[in-house]
Amino acid sequence: DTAVSQTPKYLVTQMGNDKSIKCEQNLGHDTMYWYKQDSKKFLKIMFSYNNKELIINETVPNRFSPKSPDKAHLNLHINSLELGDSAVYFCASSQEEGYEQYFGPGTRLTVT
Amino acid sequence: EDQVTQSPEALRLQEGESSSLNCSYTVSGLRGLFWYRQDPGKGPEFLFTLYSAGEEKEKERLKATLTKKESFLHITAPKPEDSATYLCAVLGGSNYKLTFGKGTLLTVNP
């Protein structure tokens, strides 16, 4: 069983489009995260949700909007995609805030 | 702001040649230091958490240690399957935000 899963694995789209990435965890964790890993492999936090409540919201354009329908899911919606949004996006979860995080396989987004 | 610096950026070893990776950090009130392994095209895989200076943890050929300013990941007699990028991250302050270093790309040649 996959602990943290993301769909899709690859996403190729044109500038200006709107897209969503879905994340699900079956670990029973309370906290979920979205990270962005750029071309230099630098991993940076974007958002964090604890029990469906937003607790970390880094300096991310408001074109990015996370949504948590329940504790096991955290989706990322991106409006008006730009070339600079091309990156690998990782979802992660942890038992609670401050505990070790478990990462999904990533979604490679390419904006053309 | 929390900062994490990992060195070297890349390390090439022969199978069986032991070495160490370094993670230097500055953080306001360390809550935990985490080591992850990332294989190409995959998500980071959790290895260790260290909470206080002097703490050590081991897993197979890997041993992580922590001081007040840095952490080391010691690799003893590495094998080619240990090849990966090793990431260090710190959790500090009161915001529960994990700050990652840029990683060390380890290549172990047979």
Q: Across the interface, do A55 and B96 touch by the CB < 8 Å criterion?
A: yes
- Partner B contacted by A98 (CB < 8 A): yes
What confidence tens digit (pLDDT) does each residue in A58-74 have? 878 999 999 999 999 99
Rounded CA-CA distance A85/A50 in Å is: 25
Distance (Å) from the alpha carbon of A107 to chain B's nearest alpha carbon: 10
Tens digit of pLDDT at every position of chain B (110 positions): 889 999 999 999 999 999 999 999 999 889 999 999 999 999 999 999 999 999 999 999 999 999 999 999 999 999 999 999 999 999 987 677 899 999 999 999 99
Side-chain-facing half-sphere of A79: CA atoms under 13 Å: 7
Rounded CA-CA distance B108/A72 in Å is: 38
pLDDT for A1 beyond 70: no
Contacts of B97 in chain A (CB under 8 A): 45, 48, 56, 58
Question: How many residues are given for chain B?
Answer: 110
Identify the residue among A29, A90, A101 best suited for mutation to test binding to B, counting B beta carbons within 10 A and taking the highest.
Answer: A101
